[in-house]
Amino acid sequence: MTGDIAIEVKGLNSFYGTRQVLYDVSALIPRHEIFVIMGISGSGKTTLFRHLIGLKETPSGCIWIDGEDVGRWGSSEWNNYHKRIGVLFQNGALFNSLTVGENVATPLRVHTGLPGEIIDIMVEMKLHMVGLSGLSGFMPSQLSGGMRKRAGLARALAMDPEFLFVDEPSSGLDPITAAGLDELLLSLKAALGMTVIVVTHELESAFRIADRMMVMDRGRILASGTPDEIRRNDNPRVRQFLERRAEEAGEDVEAYLERLCAVRRR
Ligand SMILES: Nc1ncnc2c1ncn2[C@@H]1O[C@H](COP(=O)(O)OP(=O)(O)OP(=O)(O)O)[C@@H](O)[C@H]1O
């Protein structure tokens, strides 16, 4: 692969207690692209995601971020990294007792010494970016599921991150709202040049946004490449993964795959 690599994972094994859940996982994540980690439930996507954001130690194998081996990082390097990343968790993870604006302001209050008036302006800018202008005073409970995700995204963007990590952007959203969120991720990448790492089991969403994708199965990588390369992959387990969704939807498999790629080309 040519181009600038933001994150490299090599030979990562991961365990919960004595149970191994990731086996020899390797990946190259290019800068300024959207990299999608796909796979069915339990395949290890979230575990890999947790390693990449530093929520889980790496007992065996290596992760390099900007060419630095994170195994050598101490708490100050991790703190610096955490200021450079934004994370949107599956449920938005908003503080329900705070307004939307206070939620978005939280990282700025914790990590910067900026005066309140400047923080207020920045909060309004982030809400504007995600299409929630003027909703700063609302409580999370007053928002729809899609709006809560957007508010979570505004909070993830508060510190102008270089890396944006998104866990299951489509979960719990109707297809139209999910597509809107995907479009937002695409426009953020284009406008801000962020490196975006997305975990999802939603094929349609994955093919809509990915520059590169990786399919995981039972803790191992089945395939990785561009969406077109994944579509052409003839590994039976990859075919099964791609086609199962079609079968679930009761669609003709070839028509379904064609539709996925048409989504990608739009
Ligand atoms: N905290 C934990 N303790 C023990 N086992 C865990 C823990 N979290 C995940 N696992 C196990 O690790 C394996 C990988 O889980 P992981 O959550 O990474 O998969 P996933 O592909 O993200 O699944 P999902 O889409 O359901 O979130 C699964 O077998 C899961 O049961």
Band (pLDDT 50/70/90 cuts) for residue 2 is very low
pLDDT at 227 over 90: yes
CA pair distance 238, 227, nearest whole angstrom: 12
Residue spans of beta strands (DSSP E) within 17-139: 19-30, 34-39, 60-65, 68-69, 85-88
Distance of alpha carbon 263 from alpha carbon 226, whole angstroms: 14
Mean pLDDT for 175-189 is: 87
Ligand 1 geometric centre to CA of 201 (Å): 13
Nearest C-alpha to atom 26 of ligand 1 is from which residue?
Answer: 41
Higher-scoring residue by pLDDT: 180, 32:
32
Pocket test of ligand 1: the residue of 16, 48, 197 to mutate, having most ligand atoms within 8 Å of its CB, is 16
Specify the pLDDT at position 90. 81
Where b means 16+ CB within 10 Å and e means fewer, 213-223 reads bbbbbebebbb
Of all protein residues, whose CA lies closest to atom 10 belonging to ligand 1?
A: 16
- Per residue in 189-213, pLDDT (tens digit) is 888 889 999 999 889 899 999 999 9
Q: What are the beta bridge partners of residue 69?
A: 64
Cβ contact 209:182 at 8 Å:
yes
Q: What percent of the chain has pLDDT over 70?
A: 90
pLDDT in tens, 58-86: 778 899 999 999 999 999 999 999 989 99
Report the pLDDT value the prediction gives residue 253, as an integer from 0 to 100.
Answer: 58
pLDDT at 251: 52
CA 40 / ligand 1 centre spacing (Å): 11
DSSP letter at 13? E
Query: Strands 220-225, 34-39: parallel, antiparallel or unpaired by DSSP?
Result: unpaired
Mean of the per-residue pLDDT values of the chain: 88
Kindly give the residue spans of alpha helices, DSSP state H, lying in 74-197: 75-84, 100-111, 116-129, 145-156, 175-192
175: confidence class by pLDDT, cuts 50, 70, 90: confident
* Vertex 49: Cα angle to 41 and 4 (nearest 5): 125
Distance in Å, CA 237 to ligand 1 centroid? 20
Ligand 1 centroid – CA 9 distance (Å): 19
State in Å: Cα 203 to ligand 1 middle.
19
The answer to whether 7 touches 65, Cβ cutoff 8 Å, is yes
CA distance 77 to 85: 13
Q: How far is the CA of 97 from the centre of ligand 1 (A)?
A: 29
pLDDT > 70? residue 3: no
In sequence order, the 6+-apart residues with CB closer than 8 A to the CB of 187 are none
**pLDDT for the residue 13:** 95
ipTM: 0.96
* Model pLDDT for residues 5-55, shown as the tens digit of each residue: 999 999 999 999 999 999 999 999 999 999 999 998 889 999 999 999 998
Residues with CB under 6 A from ligand 1: 16, 21, 39, 41-47, 201
Predicted local distance difference test score (pLDDT) of residue 177: 82
- Among protein residues, the one with the nearest Cα to ligand 1's atom 13 is 42
Homologous superfamily in CATH for domain 5-262? P-loop containing nucleotide triphosphate hydrolases (3.40.50.300)
Q: Whose CA is nearest to atom 7 of ligand 1?
A: 16
Separation of alpha carbons 131 and 188, rounded Å? 12
> Is residue 256 a contact partner of residue 246, using CB atoms and an 8 Å limit?
yes
Q: Of how many residues is the chain composed? A: 266
The DSSP element (H or E) to which 91 belongs, if any, is none
Ligand 1: nearest atom to the Cα of 39: 21
Could you tell me the distance, in angstroms and rounded to a whole number, from the CA of residue 61 to the centre of ligand 1? 19
> What does the block give as tokens for 9?
């994972």
Q: Locate tokens 């400047």: which residue?
A: 118
Segment 119-146 mean pLDDT = 90
Residue with tokens 């890396």: 163
